[in-house]
Amino acid sequence: MGKKKNKRSKNKLKKDKRKQNIVNNPHFGGLNWMDKEGLYAILPGEAPSEEFFELWTENFQKELRNSALWNEMVAKFGEEEAEKLLKQCQVQLRK
């Protein structure tokens, strides 16, 4: 019996870890596209919480800051303006 309980606990941990990966990685399932107003995504399931969007925004901004695009933004607009532009990059729910 102890092994079954332990096995269930491991499976639960794996599921919890997968959920964390989804929150930490904006590149998951669904339909996404980009137009002049930004990047759009349609994801299955219920609408995520505000906390989810805040985390997604943080991760997106962090990835952008560590990308080649960030270097281009700083070169073209300067550090201060690039930071302002970065803050405008937010994940939002639109209905």
Structure tokens given for 28: 């998951």
How far is Cα 67 from Cα 77, in angstroms, rounded to an integer?
A: 16
Q: Say if CB 60 and CB 26 are below 8 A apart.
A: yes
Residue 12 has pLDDT above 70, yes or no: no
Span 11-22, mean pLDDT?
50
22-80 pLDDT, tens digit per residue, is 444 455 566 777 888 777 777 777 888 889 889 989 999 999 999 999 999 999 999 99
pLDDT at site 80: 97
pLDDT at site 22: 44
Helix (H) and strand (E) counts for the chain?
A: 4, 2
What does pTM read for this prediction?
0.55
pLDDT at site 13: 54
pLDDT at site 21: 44
DSSP 47: P
In the numeric block, the tokens 């991760």 are attached to 59
Q: Which residue has the higher pLDDT, 72 or 9?
A: 72
pLDDT at site 3: 52
Q: Say if CB 82 and CB 73 are below 8 A apart.
A: yes
Instruction: Give residue 30's identity as a one-letter amino acid code.
Output: G
Structure tokens given for 30: 């669904």
